[in-house]
Structure 1
């Protein structure tokens, strides 16, 4: 019997295949982690942007707001330039500003809790977003 052993093999061995799959799984895991971090950073930036938009609006010189009162955890503001009343309140999971005429503008989304206090010429806003509590003090004179 004449058997020829072919020393030239075709294909991959089992060890080479497992090693290749290990490298691919590590790469996919790193890509998934990177996208998760990017999404988290994007949500944080969006949250900061909404907070600054809220603060810019209630402290804006364009409206020149004066605080009227807080009733039923709603902040009542009066715009001296527009001579119009506004209400800032939490509705479901957002903080919105509305007028007596109707219509509203959402200011901050994904709100877990929100409270307002008036202390002399300051409005103190306490807002809880995604497990973090933020407290802001805005200088708004009280309308008499």
Structure 2
């Protein structure tokens, strides 16, 4: 009896498949998931930063209001123009004004100025009866308003 052997021929030709291996696909999915997690974390942090900036602007506004009130105590009111309030210092009888210019609200006195409020997009000063209204819009579009009642010692014109 003859033994028949089955021999497999090895060919030097290798079939080449173009495509990704399973490990390459898993690695790509891992990278994609990491990018998505970072993107969602960035969006969450952006909302937190926005609310903090808004709260910082509100704090700056409150400090500004306190500074204006203190300035008004030491001065007498003269008149209001669209971009400024003109006062007279009670101690030295010199003019002092609070005005909006170049994105800031500043106090101008004796030739120098002191910035009171920064990053202001728009400001409007107006006299309304016995009140002065200050309306401010910050660069982040936060709009605030202050109403100051003119003391009775002022002669209304």
SS in 2 for 1:45: helix
Structure 2, unmatched stretches of 5+, are: 1-7, 11-21
Tell which has more relative contact order, 1 or 2 (C-alpha 8 A, sep 6+): 1
1:107 to 2:116 alignment: yes
Residue 53 of structure 2: aligned partner: 43
TM-score by length of 2: 0.69
How far 1:35 sits from its partner (Å)?
3.4
How many residue pairs get aligned? The number is 136
Assess if the C-alpha contact under 8 Å between 2:135 and 2:145 holds in 1. Answer: yes
Residue 136 of structure 2: aligned partner: 127
Structure 1, unmatched stretches of 5+, are: 4-11
How far 1:136 sits from its partner (Å)?
1.6
* The structure with more strand, counted as a fraction of residues: 1
SS in 1 for 2:124: strand
How far 1:55 sits from its partner (Å)?
0.7
How far 1:82 sits from its partner (Å)?
6.7
1:14 to 2:20 alignment: no
Computing the radius of gyration from Cα coordinates, the structure with the larger value is 2
TM-score by length of 1: 0.75
User: How far apart, CA to CA, are the structure 1 residues paired with 2:71 and 2:133?
Assistant: 18
Post-superposition CA distance 1:76-111 (Å, at most 9, x none): 123446755321111111111111x12222122221
Task: Provide the alpha-carbon RMSD of the alignment.
Answer: 2.9
